[in-house]
Chains A and B, each alone.
Chain A
Amino acid sequence: MTTVSKKTYLFVWLALLAFLALTWGLANVNLGPFNNVFALCISIAKMALVVLVFMHGRWEKALTWIFIAAGAIWFLIMVDLTLSDYLTRKDITNARTTWKHPEQNPPTLMPGKGD
């Protein structure tokens, strides 16, 4: 197994802090829908650094990567198929515009009850 040098760890740590600054900075700028995209990408980048270097992922065998991938993929399955329900419900889609006080717009989750 390759030994990772302390210097590599130091660089990764500094990179992580830089990403932290970046993610905080970008949140203060209005980029519309890209705020979410960038935030997610930066988080994934940080995770990748931790997994690959700190957790030695780069030097792990394929079997370990199957385990890592399984966790990620199964989480995504759960999110994806659940979203397939929520994104295709008509009444919630309509409610997703502006918030109104419940007196003016009572929350309703039963389909077909009028929009």
Chain B
Amino acid sequence: MNTATETVAPLIEHRIAKNYFTEGGHTLKSWLLTTDHKRIGVLYLISIVFYFVIAAIAAALMRMELITPAGDMVTSETYNKLFTIHGTLMVWFFLIPSIPAVLGNFVLPMMLGARDVAFPKLNLLSWYLFNAGGLLALYAVTFGGVDTGWTFYTPYSSTYSNSHVLTMAAGIFIAGFGTILTGLNFIITTHKLRAPGLTWFRLPLFVWSMYSTSAIMILATPVLAMTLTLMGIERIWGVGLFDPKLGGDPVLFQHLFWFYSHPAVYIMILPGMGVMSELVTCFSRKPIFGYHFVAFSSVAIAVLGFLVWGHHMFTSGQSIYASLVFSYLSYMVAVPSAIKVFNWTLTLHRGSISLSTPMIYALGFVGLFTVGGLTGLFLAAAGLDVHVQDTYFVVAHFHYIMVGGMVTAFMGGLHYWWPKITGRMYPEKFGQLAALTMYLGFNLTFFPQFVLGYLGMPRRYHAYAPEFQIYNVMSSAGASILGVAYLLPLIYFLWSLKYGKKAPANPWKATGLEWQTTSPPPKHNFHETPIVDTPPYQYSAEATEAELLSISNKETPYG
């Protein structure tokens, strides 16, 4: 039998369907005090979209300034604040929570066949911590901004900056504990709440990615908390550990900061890789190529990611010996990522590929992440990094990974699971259009930045030499296209809530326990605890509906 479960949950169309929206209360209070992981996922989605918009506006203003070489739109101080706001909000209040706190919260317990996460109240607490931190960040943004860059390097942040450093740092500190709670929850849930028969190697790869991400979250984030505390103490009391007058070393701040922040960038890509494994298999109707390799690669990325932070400090005064060690280790961490790309590609090979919106995003991810990853290797070579450090080359590299990779995957996952979350289908044509627009806009925005960096344009500058203008204009033009590409889903997702076609339980005919329950799911996910006895991704290009589904549905939205 190819069915994933032995129990069959009846799909009955009610006039008023019982799902997690209708059960558990309709009031605002029932949502704000919910412990249902699905509602918390939705709450997070609303929150992160809010911070994304603010950070995107900051980016838009930056790109507008950069259309002309002269710094004529904003002062340099204002520009510094813009890129700091963009960086801090995007990293801590959008990207880090994005897939884990939205899709992970919603889908992970269901993929495990569980009724909820292990600690539902801590889950709600994490959302409140996230927003408490966000409020402080908003205060800092509204009342004058921060101008240190998202990296808060000392001594500028601890001694010389006159902006709202402490407020922003406090906001990040508090939000960080929200992240830790999410990670802790996912780890314990994965260990303790798996359905009967669901062994580790029967788990969807999304779970492996979320588990690895969670390990990074709980081991790295506390160091950030302490680092910001130490910087804050030096700022408040005027004396501190990074003060050269006492024999302190500002570079120690960088060691502490990057010990967290490098693993943090793996928090900002691993979940996207997890989504990729789900999308690529479903839309090529094939099991993943090399399941064990992909699973272990997730763990390898999480572990090796902690060993490479010094590659951010090649030009900071770190010893040459340490730079050598970090450079070598940075080359090693690229290997598991490459293995994953290889395996996704081979999953596509001889698959029955359908170019639905999630798949367009997934295919885009493969190309964009590969470019980002390869340029990472350029940067990992200490000798080459000396020339491109603090230039637009670095900016392009990390945007290819974080936007071309993670945001693309987030959009793909959001489209994929939207029917499950809301019970509605989004309009497919607009979805495909937005995905393509995003791909084109993204490349136009960021590819010229590689050239800019190579030619020597420094980052974080609001004015630049005139010979760089053509590439900046291309980049800014691309950014406006990218803006449209993000606006489209915002509009049609909201539209779909009221006017979208009602979604069946399994619109994509995907494997996985989350598709074995209704769309949207009932409050406790499953009417009966599923029992698992097959490996994941049991797709077959020739399989019939009946073979794949326990809940069959004759009507498929897209034919």
| Chain A residues in the interface with B (C-beta under 8 A) | 63, 70-71, 74, 77-78, 81-82, 84-86, 88-90, 107, 109-111
Contacts and interface: CB of A to CB of B under 8 A. Distances in A.
Contacts of B252: 82
Given A109-B244, A109-B249, A85 B191 contact: no
Interface string B283-312: 000000000000000000000001101100
Nearest to A74: B219
Cβ-closest 7 pairs across A and B = A85-B322, A88-B321, A88-B319, A84-B322, A89-B319, A82-B255, A74-B219
B251 A84 contact: no
A39 B326 CA distance: 31
B307 A77 contact: yes
B466 interface: no
Given A74-B219, A78-B259, A111 B319 contact: yes
Interface residues of B, number: 24
Interface string B315-331: 00111111001100000
Nearest to A83: B322
9 contacts: A63-B191, A70-B215, A70-B219, A81-B326, A82-B252, A84-B321, A85-B321, A85-B322, A110-B317
Contact of B322 (A77, A88, A90): A88
Interface of B: 191, 215, 219, 223, 244-245, 247, 249, 251-252, 255, 259, 306-307, 309-310, 317-322, 325-326
Given A77-B307, A85-B255, A111 B244 contact: no
A107 B219 contact: no
Contacts of B306: 74, 77
Given A85-B319, A109-B249, A109-B251, 11 more contacts: A78-B223, A81-B307, A81-B326, A84-B322, A85-B251, A85-B318, A85-B322, A88-B319, A88-B321, A88-B322, A109-B317
A90 B322 CA distance: 12
A70 B252 CA distance: 23
Contacts of B326: 81
A88 B317 CA distance: 11
Contacts of B219: 70-71, 74
A16 B544 CA distance: 68
B244 A107 contact: yes
A110 B244 CA distance: 11
A63 B211 CA distance: 15
A111 B317 contact: yes
A78 B244 CA distance: 22
Contacts of B320: 88
Contacts of A82: 252, 255, 259
A102 to B, nearest CB: 8
Nearest to A112: B317
Contact of A81 (B244, B317, B325): B325
A63 B191 CA distance: 9
A83 to B, nearest CB: 9
A88 to B, nearest CB: 4
Contacts of A81: 307, 309-310, 322, 325-326
Contacts of B259: 78, 82
A83 B244 CA distance: 18
Contacts of B251: 85, 109
Contact of A84 (B244, B249, B317, B325): B325
Nearest to A78: B259
Contacts of A89: 319
A111 B319 CA distance: 8
